């Protein structure tokens, strides 16, 4: 894990500044301010419906903020997912994260089109092969026929295809058997420790989350309820009061 003291000095890589956002005029998050340092892994926890997914979608540009703003690499981010992908953001959603009716190969080819160039795509593909070899053993299969863990690995491999500098993940362990969830989180730890990738991860499985993150933000009823270091949370006997 990257220690906070080892992170580069200067402004945060990602800054969410007093952001309010939601759906059909209803605010799902209100006045949220968080940040992620370069090469840092940060977690977001909270009860179902707290606004965690809304926050990720707002950072990625799917949902425009009604107030506040989002800075990435010292630039205000637009509510435009394609522009944000080109700036180095990638989102792996909790559901519908692969094209089920297409083959694994076709899924990867679609993701490859978002790479900056062929060299970037080739390098990213090689890294994904090493992280998720099972995905490349299933190239001819329909993505919908893969196991839950294999689909999750495919979704992350797709996101890595354009070498994002900040990876946003929504519940990467949801629906996975413990051993498969562990493999996914081992890959995420490698990306932060060995590749210097920044990660912002929504996750309910705290033991897995605390194995990769430096800090955790707690969201409750659309509001930022607190911030804890991973080290302080690991010293707790339980976490019930956080939700």
Model confidence pLDDT, tens digit, residues 7-20: 444 468 999 999 99
Q: Which residue has the tokens 């926050």?
A: 55
* Cα–Cα distance, 160 to 115 (Å, whole number): 9
pLDDT at 94: 87
CB distance 46 to 77 below 8 Å: no
In a domain, residue 207? The reply is yes
Q: Is the pLDDT of residue 3 over 70?
A: no
Average pLDDT for 27-42: 96
DSSP state string for 58-81: HHHTSS--SEEEEEETTEEPPS-H
Residues 7 and 18 reside in one and the same domain = yes
Residues 158 and 101 reside in one and the same domain = yes
Which range of 29-33, 96-100, 119-123, 233-237 scores highest in mean pLDDT? It is: 29-33
pTM: 0.89
Residues 94 and 74 reside in one and the same domain = no
| Count of structural domains, the chain | 2
Q: Across the chain, which distance is largest between two alpha carbons, in Å?
A: 49
Residues 72 and 108 reside in one and the same domain = no
pLDDT at 11: 61
In a domain, residue 174? The reply is no
Instruction: Out of 117, 148, 163, pick the residue that ends a domain.
Output: 163
Sequence-separated contacts (24+) of 59-64 with Cβ below 8 Å: 59/14, 59/16, 59/89, 59/168, 59/200, 60/84, 60/89, 60/91, 60/168, 61/89, 62/91, 63/21, 63/22, 63/23, 64/21
Q: What backbone phi and psi angles, to 5 degrees, belong to 163?
A: 50, 60
* Cα–Cα distance, 124 to 168 (Å, whole number): 17
* pLDDT tens-digit series, residues 122-167: 888 888 888 888 888 999 999 999 988 888 889 999 998 888 999 9
Other Cβ atoms less than 10 A from the Cβ of 122: the count is 13
CATH number at residue 6: 3.40.50.300
Higher pLDDT, 243 or 172: 172
In a domain, residue 172? The reply is no
Residues 9 and 70 reside in one and the same domain = yes
Residues 74 and 13 reside in one and the same domain = yes
Pick from 39, 11, 9, 3: nearest CA to 198: 39
Q: Is the pLDDT of residue 243 over 80?
A: no
pLDDT at 10: 47
Average pLDDT for 95-107: 91
Residues 122 and 78 reside in one and the same domain = no
CB distance 131 to 157 below 8 Å: yes
On average, the pLDDT of the chain sits at 88
Average pLDDT for 56-72: 96
In a domain, residue 184? The reply is no
> What is the SS3 assignment for 242?
helix
DSSP letter at 10 equals S
In a domain, residue 9? The reply is yes
Range of the domain at 107: 90-163
Residues 96 and 43 reside in one and the same domain = no
* pLDDT tens-digit series, residues 192-203: 888 889 999 999
Residues 138 and 206 reside in one and the same domain = no
pLDDT at 5: 38
């Amino acid at each position: 894990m990257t220690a906070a003291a080892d992170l580069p000095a200067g402004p945060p890589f990602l800054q969410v500044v007093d952001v309010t956002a939601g759906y059909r005029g209803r605010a799902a998050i209100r006045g949220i301010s968080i940040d992620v340092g370069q090469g840092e892994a940060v977690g977001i926890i909270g009860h179902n419906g707290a606004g965690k997914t809304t926050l990720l979608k707002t950072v990625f540009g799917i949902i425009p903020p009604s107030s506040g703003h989002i800075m990435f690499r010292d630039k205000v981010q637009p509510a435009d997912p394609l522009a944000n992908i080109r700036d180095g953001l990638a989102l792996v959603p909790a559901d519908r994260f692969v094209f089920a009716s297409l083959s694994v190969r076709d899924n990867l080819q679609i993701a490859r089109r978002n790479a900056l160039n062929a060299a970037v795509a080739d390098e990213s593909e090689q890294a994904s092969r090493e992280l998720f070899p099972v995905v490349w053993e299933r190239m001819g299969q329909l993505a919908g026929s893969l196991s839950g863990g294999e689909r999750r690995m495919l979704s992350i491999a797709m996101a890595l295809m354009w070498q994002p500098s900040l990876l946003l993940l929504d519940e990467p362990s949801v629906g996975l058997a413990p051993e498969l969830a562990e493999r996914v989180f081992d890959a995420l730890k490698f990306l932060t420790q060995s590749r210097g990738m920044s990660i912002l991860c929504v996750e309910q499985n705290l033991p897995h989350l605390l194995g990769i993150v430096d800090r955790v933000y707690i969201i409750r009823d659309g509001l930022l309820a607190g911030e804890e270091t991973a080290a302080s949370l690991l010293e707790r006997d339980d976490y019930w009061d956080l939700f």
